[in-house]
Amino acid sequence: MSGSRSYGIMGVPALGVKRAYQVGDVVEMRKPHPCGGAAWEVLRVGIDFRIRCLRCGRLAMLERRDFERKVKAAHTADAGVEGG
Ligand SMILES: [Zn+2]
């Protein structure tokens, strides 16, 4: 009698997954804009990110690394929005 049972690992924890930002995402910065608005819309992604203040409409450009450091929360279409 030979009985072998194999255990397949199905659930792989999704740790260390980088959040992918997309054009149209709304992000909240750690430091509010001087106008008082903290929400920005992503207009362009890539090596540099172009964002627009949703309150005053001012455009800003940040390096990706800089952008990711300054973002406090992101409200994407996919992820659930965390109320603050
Ligand atoms: Zn502003």
Residue 40 CA to ligand 1 center (angstroms) comes to 8
> How would residue 84 be classed by pLDDT, with cut points 50, 70 and 90?
very low
Burial 10-35, CB ≥16 within 10 A → b, else e: eeeeeeeeeeebeeebbbbbeeebee
Backbone angle region of 70, left / alpha / beta, with phi > 0 → left and psi within -120 to 50 → alpha: alpha
Token pair recorded at residue 73: 């929360």
Over 90: is that where the pLDDT of 18 sits? Answer: no
In this predicted structure, which of 4-13, 24-33, 71-80 has the lowest mean pLDDT? 4-13
Give the pLDDT mean for 63-81: 82
Residue 82 CA to ligand 1 center (angstroms) comes to 22
Residue 28 CA to ligand 1 center (angstroms) comes to 12
Give the pLDDT mean for 7-11: 56
Residue 62, classified by CB atoms within 10 Å of its CB into exposed (0-12), middle (13-18) or buried (19+), is middle
